[in-house]
Amino acid sequence: MPDIEERTEVEIEHEALLTQLRENDIDGFREDFLALHTYEQSEFYVSLSEADKDLLYHVLSPEEASLFFDNLEIDEEDYDELFDQMDSRYAAEMIGKMQYDNSVDILNQLPKAKVTTFLALMDKQDAKEIRGLLNYEEDTAGGIMTTEFVSLTSLMTVREAMRHLKEVAPTSETIYYVFIVDEERKLAGIMSLRELIIADDDEYIGDIMNERVVSVLVSDDQEEVAQIMRDYDFLALPVLDYQDHLVGIITADDIMDVIDEEAGEDYSRLAGMSDTEKTTDTALETAKKRLPWLIGLTFMGMITAAMLSVFEDTLAQVVLLSAFIPLISGMAGNTGTQSLAVAVRGISTGEIKESSKMKLAGREIGSGFLTGLACGITIFVVILMMYQEPILGIIVCLSLVASMTVATLIGTIVPLLMDKVGIDPAIASGPFITTANDIISLLIYFALANMFMASLLA
């Protein structure tokens, strides 16, 4: 048992709350628990055992639980088991009281039978809103938007708008932006809360609204939405259907989740891993997820082995050549992976436009040539000092220059081409680029060795 000084403030706080919960000190627990930020509440909830969670459900109302469930961070696959432990009516009411976009995120992880049950048990209006959002693809603007937003009509006065805002603000996810619609609920303009507050009470909304509005369609990919919100520094972005009706908004907190999710996927794919892999997976589950990539890379590696057998005579004549194979293939793989990372990051963030792709490729080729030249000259000097073999030094030097130049080109071009044909560029993973560059670098190395063979044997 650690001393109290060794425990964190959070651990001490959690222990005190847990004691109150287990000893049925309802008033004390509610006072201390509800004083916490909802993120802190969710952290405490995650730390509880199944039995302690059941006690919590008896102490908190579904609406109170919904506040920290909006901030809950657990693996998607764990939601099904979590709701197995919760009373269905309690769960349905809680999900209905959550922000609708978060409710949909949770329901998308549950079996259809359970979703149907919860929708049948919850408030009819909540169920209607959630059903509407469930119709959209998960990774689209429609899939991450919320329908809890403030809209005004252009015919309202500022006084009427402020009165309406006070009425709907408690159930809206954000009120920093107010969206203006016409009689057909088509998006007509936008105002910030600040602009509304400082406007004259008798002015009409239609006269003072901003008619230039940036919006997205329900079908737009969530990555594109994230880029727009990042570029414009929006706190919220309106989502339209195909008839320009305002159907929802996407808020900054939702986009932060999207950016985190997309970054995790790209990182996993760059490492040649499944983006569904979890730290809680067993060794067998982890192996099953990694095997497809590794088997493919094994076959690519066999090409390298076959090349070595083809150039067996070359190696037999000058055994020292084999000592520099790891160096040349390793450097080519490293520079190729660096270029790949730059290209994938640029594509995912939107920094690389169509007009700048050739410029990027040219820059990477130049960088590969200069770094290859610097490394080549360095290794030439080392070989000359250690082995007194200037011809071997020239072969290794030229191989490094050529291999590193080609590797940077491949690392840049492959993801750009994949993006061009609509394939996620992150699939051009680091292991794939590294293995491809191994093959090409060895071809260059042995081709140069054969060219200089007579001089090497002299």
Helices (H), 135-201: 141-144, 158-168, 193-198
Burial class (CB in 10 A: 0-12, 13-18, 19+), 365: middle
pTM: 0.60
**What average pLDDT is seen over the chain?**
83
- Containing 255, the helix (H) or strand (E) segment is helix 252-270
Domain boundaries, the chain: 4-138, 151-268, 283-457
Mean pLDDT of 270-283: 58
Superfamily of segment(s) 151-268: CBS-domain (3.10.580.10)
User: Nearest to residue 97, comparing CAs of 133, 125, 58?
Assistant: 125
DSSP 80: H
Mean pLDDT of 103-125: 91
d(CA 39, CA 69): 9
Residue 92 or 423, more confident: 92
- The domain made up of 4-138 has a fold known as MgtE N-terminal fold (1.25.60)
DSSP string, 315-377: HHH-GGGGGGHHHHHHHHHHHHHHHHHHHHHHHHHT---GGGHHHHHHHHHHHHHHHHHHHHH
Per-residue pLDDT at 149? 86
- Containing 124, the helix (H) or strand (E) segment is helix 124-134
Superfamily of segment(s) 283-457: SLC41 divalent cation transporters, integral membrane domain (1.10.357.20)
Q: Per-residue pLDDT for 34 more than 90?
A: yes
The model's pLDDT over 43-83, given as tens digits with 9 standing for 90+, comes to 999 999 999 999 999 999 999 999 999 888 887 778 888 99
User: Nearest to residue 262, comparing CAs of 377, 111, 270, 43?
Assistant: 270
Residue 117 or 9, more confident: 117
Per-residue pLDDT at 301? 65
